[in-house]
Structure 1
């Protein structure tokens, strides 16, 4: 499913709705680009850094997990860095496009429920995510998530083009 870009001229009920629209848009664009890639490109890297499209999906799921659940909500999370092995992103051989897409979408549903039920000025719960710093308000966390998605979608645009997939939005 691809979504139209959330143009600034489309009315929104408030800032929370704007964040939701952009996060949903960027998440679905990442997933649409990965869905358009042939199976043999999913675990292949076309970049010197070595990351793969499947690793990117898993990374983005963990980014939301770390910033929203482990960070903002202060929940105990078994493997907040479960997208990494050493200094690299990692996807196990038994993890598939379908399971990773399902996990990312489920994380997005959780993020949306937090945004819908929380004032943007609410400060996060103190915990290990903040490494001793004062927790930020939800709005700052969401700005960070948006830049993560936008940046990684741009990276994926290049990888998808190199792999012969669709280009542009």
Structure 2
């Protein structure tokens, strides 16, 4: 199957300056992969669900943006974030009707820029700052957070693969 993302898969054979660069490459790849898959769907498919769980592709994009925000800015950096759970309403993912694919794409890419800055600007051995993200637990280390973000993206990219295929959209790895 052809790859439908806008950037190539980060091959293990391509040299990297270090682990942080590897994490950034994979996160960029998965972020662009889910954006490309969503962009291949008509508006009606972006806002409807083909799954019993009820989530929509637009909700997934918004969720991924907030996952990065929660783990890196609110969690690791300990920043004050006005709405860390802004992707949720009534205990489920939510996208306002006024939010468009273009809006959510821009927000996810902008979050990716901030994610890259956090990952490349800190030692992967660094531990997050204490704060509300950790709910009283010890903060996680940056490398562990990066692994978590990668599994989140890989899992949700697979979910979106199924939804896009069911909708008759482009398929690929």
TMscore range, shorter length: over 0.9
Structure 2: where are the runs of 5+ without partners? Answer: none
Look up the match of 1:168: 172
Match of 2:75 among 50, 71, 77: 71
TM-score, length basis structure 2: 0.96
The answer for the alignment partner of 1:20 in structure 2 is 24
Q: For the residues of structure 1 that align with 2:70 and 2:140, how far apart are their CA atoms?
A: 13
What TM-score results when the alignment is normalised by the length of structure 1? 0.98
1:119: which partner in 2? Answer: 123
Runs of 4+ in 1 over 2 A off after TM superposition: none
The equivalences for 1:96-111 within 5 A come to: 96-111=100-115
Q: How far is 1:116 from its partner?
A: 1.2
Q: CA deviation at 1:86?
A: 1.8
Aligned pairs, number: 169
SS of aligned partner of 2:123: coil
Could you tell me how far 1:36 is from its partner in structure 2?
Answer: 0.7
SS at the partner of 2:63?
Answer: helix
Instruction: Quote the offset at 1:5 in angstroms.
Output: 0.7
Task: For 1:65 and 1:50, locate their aligned partners in 2 and report how far apart those are by CA, in whole Å.
Answer: 23
Segments of 5+ residues of structure 1 without an aligned counterpart are: none
**Aligned-partner Cα distance in 1 for 2:152–2:90:** 21
Say if 2:138 is the partner of 1:155.
no
Q: What displacement does 1:9 show?
A: 1.1
Residue aligned with 2:119, SS? helix
Pairwise CA RMSD: 0.7
